[in-house]
Structure formats: structure tokens, C-alpha cells
Amino acid sequence: MNPGDRLPPLEVPITRTLIVAGAIASRDYQDVHHDPELARQKGSPDIFMNILTTNGLVGRYITDRFGPRAELRRVAIRLGAPNHPGDTMVLTGTVEAVDGDMVTVRVVGANGIGKHVTGTVTVRVPA
């Protein structure tokens, strides 16, 4: 890996089940993550994914690309456009830095309405 290298993209279908299961698994019982009517009452067109599910998907994206021995050391992300059911998020990554066995990757996850997640992940890749 060298700075500037691009990781292959990962397409993640955003299903209602993924959104609700992710919220339940992370014990995030906010109604906007499981109740479409209450989400609409709060100004959203539908339920939307929580940040903990997004964080898990970003981690999966990196470890899937760097292999089973990869160790996430730092994940720093920000949310933007929400992930709603029926859309697809495409995760992409670009290597920003390599220092020995540590690699820093800039990650972007975009959906049909914009950038859902942006940030950096530092991963240790043992030789």
C-alpha cells in the first residue's frame, strides 16, 4: 500500500432490516431508527441509519480490504446525508499515509442524496 492507492468500493444496500437491526444491536432505541411515522413527524421522509451502524460498516470495509489480521486503531467519522431504506451506500477509500505497519485511509460513503459518512481510519496491518 502506498499513499494515493484507492481501495475497491463496497456497495451496501440500505434495507429497513439493516437500519432497525443495527439500531437494536447497538441499543439505540430512538424512534427515528425504527418507526417510519414518528420519523416523518420529526421531519425525516423515513427511518434512517444510526452512527453506530455506520461506524461498524466503515470498520468492516477496512478490515475486509486489509485482511483478517488487520486491527482498527482509530476510526474518526462524521455523518452527513442520512441513509434511508431503499438506497445504496457506496464506500470508497484512499490511502493517505503509510508508516511501517500503520495505514491511514480516508473513507467516504455516498448514497443517492450525498455523502453519508466521511472520515479517516487508521489500521495496523501486521506483516
Query: What secondary structure does DSSP assign to the chain, as a single string?
Result: --TTPEEEEEEEE--HHHHHHHHHHTT---GGGT-HHHHHHTT-SS----HHHHHHHHHHHHHHHH-TT-EEEEEEEEE-S---TT-EEEEEEEEEEEETTEEEEEEEEEETTEEEEEEEEEEE---
Model pLDDT, residue 1: 87
Q: Which of 103, 97, 98 is nearest to 124 (CA)?
A: 103
What are the residues whose beta carbons fall under 8 Å from the beta carbon of 107, sequence distance 6 or more?
A: 58, 61, 62, 77, 91, 92, 93, 117, 118, 119, 120, 121
Q: Which of 125, 126, 105, 127 is nearest to 117 (CA)?
A: 105
Q: Which residues of the chain have pLDDT under 70?
A: none
